[in-house]
Amino acid sequence: MPATAVSESPSQLLSVEQATQLALLTDGLDATGLIWVSGYIAGLARRQALSTSPPPSSSATIEAVASSRPSIVYGSQTGNAKRLAEDLAQQLEQSGVRTRLLSAAAYPLRELRNESHLILVVSTQGDGDPPDDARALVDFVEGKRAPALKSLKYAVLGLGDSSYPQFNAIGRRLDERLAELGASRWLPRADADLDIDTVAQPWLSNAVKAAREALLPPLASVTSLRPALASTSEQPKVSREKPFLAELLVNQRITARNSHRDVRHVELSLESVDLRYEPGDAIGVWPANAPALVHAILQALQLDADEEVGDSNNRFTLVEWLSHRKELTRLSRPFIARLAAISSDASLEALLAPEQSGRLSELVHDNQVLDLLLNHPGKWSGQTLIDALRPLAPRLYSIASSRKAVGDEAHLTIAHLQYGTNAGERWGAASNFIARTTDGNQVPVFVESNDRFRLPRDSARDVIMIGAGTGVAPFRAFVQERTAIGAGGRNWLLFGNTNGRDDFLYQVEWQEALKHRHLDRLDVAFSRERPQKTYVQHRLAEHGREVYAWLESGASLYVCGGIAMGKAVEETLVDVIATHGARNRESAIDHVRALQQQGRYARDLY
C-alpha cells in the first residue's frame, strides 16, 4: 500500500512510517483479528500510561503494580515449573494481558497482601518438600505472619510424581492455605504427574481464558486468536521442543573396571549452533529406548511392531511409539491403575489405596514397565498400551564444563544405569541411550538454565562445593570457570563416592587443580573403604569450624547430588552453624534459610 494512501490520517497522531506499519499489520485481518489487535494495543497503552505517570507513595506503588497485572510465581527444582510459568506469561502477554513473572525466591513477600490476581506454578520434591526457591514463600504463607487475603484471586498448578506418597503436597498445601487466608480460587487447582503437559496445557489454556475475561476490556476478550506478528525469517531457537542434534565427540568410562558403576565422561559439540550455557546449567537429553527393551515388551504382549496406532494428534507404528515417544523405564500411577484393571489383579489394585502409598513407592522404585507386564499378565492391544503409557520425557544432566575452557562444547558426567534381573537386563533410558551412542553420532539436546545455581558475581568470594558421585559435575564447571576468569576467591571441594581406587571421578584433574592452586582444598569421603561408612556430611561435620569461618567471611556453599544426600548435608550444616556459631537450633535453621535467600547456599538435587 503506498505511503500517501495512509498519510491522510484524521487524527494526525501517527507519522507516515508508523501509519504504513499499522496498515501492513492490519492488512488481511478479519474482524476477530482486528478485535484482538485493538485489545493488544490497549494493553500496551495501559502499560505506557503506568510507566509515564508520576510515582505515587511506596505503598500506593505496590498496590498499583499488584492490581494492574497478575503475578505469575514459580517454584521450580528441575526447570519444569519455570518452563510452564514462562509459557503462560508469554501466552498472556500475546493476548494483551500484562503480567509479572517471578521466581518464588525473588517474589517480595510483603506484596502478597496487595495482590489482586496470583498464579502459582510449583513443584513438589521427593516426599513432600518444596523446591529450594519456594521454601521461603511456603514458610511465609503457612506461617503466623501471613496476611488476610480477602481481595486475592489465585490459581495453583502443582507438579509432582504420583509414585511418591506426598504427591503434589506443596501445591495442595498452598492452595488450601490461601483459601484459609480468605483468598478466592480463580481456577481449580490442577495436579500434574510426570506426564506434565497432559494436565498442564489444558490448565494453562483455561488460565489464559480466565485472565482475558477478568483483565481485558470486553471487546479484547472476544477471541483467543493470537496472530503471529514476529518475523518468520528468524531462525528457530533451540528449546525443549526443538532440540539440537549435537555430535558426540567423546564417550569415555571414567570409573575403574572393578567399580560397580559405569560412569561416563561425555563431550558434545555445539560448534554449529548458538546454544549458550553458564556453569550450573543442565543439558536436556531426549533419549531413545533400548531396542532390546522395546522388543521384549512387544514379545511379552504378543503385539505387532508394525501396527499403526495413534492419539488425538499422531499415528505411528507401535515400535516407533515405544522407541521414541513413550516411557518404558519409569512407572506411573495411571499406568499401574490401567494394568490392575486389565490384569484383574486385586493385589495391584490394593496398592493404589492412599494408605498403601509407601508400598506403591517401593514398587515404582524397584520395577520398570516390562517387569509389571510380566508379573501381572493381561490382554493388551497396541492402542490400549499406548494410551496407558505416559509420554517420554527428556533427562537433565548438570553440565560439567565451562565454555571459557572448552569452547563450543558441553561436557556431561553420566552414570550408566544397567542391571540384571531374573527376567533379563534393565537400563536407564537416557544413560543407556548415551552409552549406546558412538563417537560421531548425534544426540538431541537443549539447555536447561538454572539461575538458582550460579557462581558469585564477585569472583573474589570463596566457594565451598559439596558433591557426591556424579553430583561433582557442576563443580568441574565451576573450577574451570573460576580458573579461566582468574577468580581471586578460594575453592574448596568436598567429594564423596564409594571407593577411592575405583570411583574417584576426575581424580587427575583435581590433583592438577590443587597443584596449580586452582583448587585450594579437597576433602574426600569414600563410603565403602572402611567398615564404618563415611559420607560427605561426615566430612562437613569434621571440618565444621573451618566451614563456619568460610561462611562468616562471605563464602557461598553449593550442594549437588541425590535428595537424601542433600537432606543429610543440610542437617549437618544446621548443626555446624549451631555449634560453631553458638546458636540454638531454630536460630541456625533461620541462618541457613537466610544464606539461601541471599544466594549463598544453593542446591541442585535429583
Instruction: Pinpoint the residues of the chain covered by CATH 3.40.50.80.
Output: 463-605
- What local confidence, expressed as pLDDT, does residue 218 receive? 61
The three cell numbers locating residue 121: 506454578
pLDDT of 283 over the 90 cut: yes
pLDDT of 146 over the 50 cut: yes
Specify the amino acid at residue 580: H
Enter the CATH code of domain 463-605.
Answer: 3.40.50.80
The answer to whether 123 touches 160, Cβ cutoff 8 Å, is: yes
| Per-residue CA distances from 209 to 159, 179, 227, 379, 441 (Å) | 21, 22, 16, 42, 44
CATH topology of domain 55-221: Rossmann fold (3.40.50)
- What local confidence, expressed as pLDDT, does residue 64 receive? 37
- What local confidence, expressed as pLDDT, does residue 78 receive? 83
> What sign for the dihedral angle of Cα 314, 315, 321, 324?
negative
Q: E-assigned strands of 418-462? A: 418-421, 424-427, 442-448
- What local confidence, expressed as pLDDT, does residue 61 receive? 37
- What local confidence, expressed as pLDDT, does residue 55 receive? 42
- What local confidence, expressed as pLDDT, does residue 358 receive? 85
CATH topology of domain 291-388: NADPH-cytochrome p450 Reductase; Chain A, domain 3 (1.20.990)
The answer to whether 390 touches 334, Cβ cutoff 8 Å, is: yes
pLDDT of 403 over the 90 cut: yes
DSSP 369-426: HHHHHHHS-----HHHHHHHSPBP--EEEEB---HHHHSSEEEEEEEE-EEEETTEEE
Per-residue pLDDT tens digits for 328-349: 999 988 899 999 999 999 999 9
- What local confidence, expressed as pLDDT, does residue 163 receive? 76
pLDDT of 470 over the 60 cut: yes
Work out the average pLDDT over 274-294.
96
Instruction: Pinpoint the residues of the chain covered by CATH 1.20.990.10.
Output: 291-388
As a whole number, the mean pLDDT across the chain is 88
- What local confidence, expressed as pLDDT, does residue 265 receive? 98
The three cell numbers locating residue 447: 539447555
Instruction: Pinpoint the residues of the chain covered by CATH 2.40.30.10.
Output: 244-287+394-448
Q: Which residue has the higher pLDDT, 313 or 224?
A: 313
The three cell numbers locating residue 537: 556430611
Can you tell me the distance from the alpha carbon of 395 to that of 373, in angstroms, rounded to the nearest whole number?
24
- What local confidence, expressed as pLDDT, does residue 532 receive? 86
Per-residue pLDDT tens digits for 490-548: 999 999 999 999 999 999 999 999 999 999 999 999 998 888 899 999 999 999 999 99
Name which of 145-154, 233-242, 357-366, 573-582 the model is least confident about.
233-242
- What local confidence, expressed as pLDDT, does residue 21 receive? 57
Specify the amino acid at residue 38: S
Instruction: Pinpoint the residues of the chain covered by CATH 3.40.50.360.
Output: 55-221
> What sign for the dihedral angle of Cα 455, 456, 459, 461?
negative
- What local confidence, expressed as pLDDT, does residue 530 receive? 83
| Per-residue CA distances from 125 to 26, 85, 590, 598 (Å) | 47, 18, 21, 22
Confidence grade of residue 449 (pLDDT, cut at 50, 70, 90): very high
The domain over range 244-287+394-448 is classified in CATH as 2.40.30.10: yes
The three cell numbers locating residue 463: 566457594
Per-residue pLDDT tens digits for 91-118: 999 988 999 999 999 999 999 999 999 9
Share of the chain above pLDDT 70, in %: 85
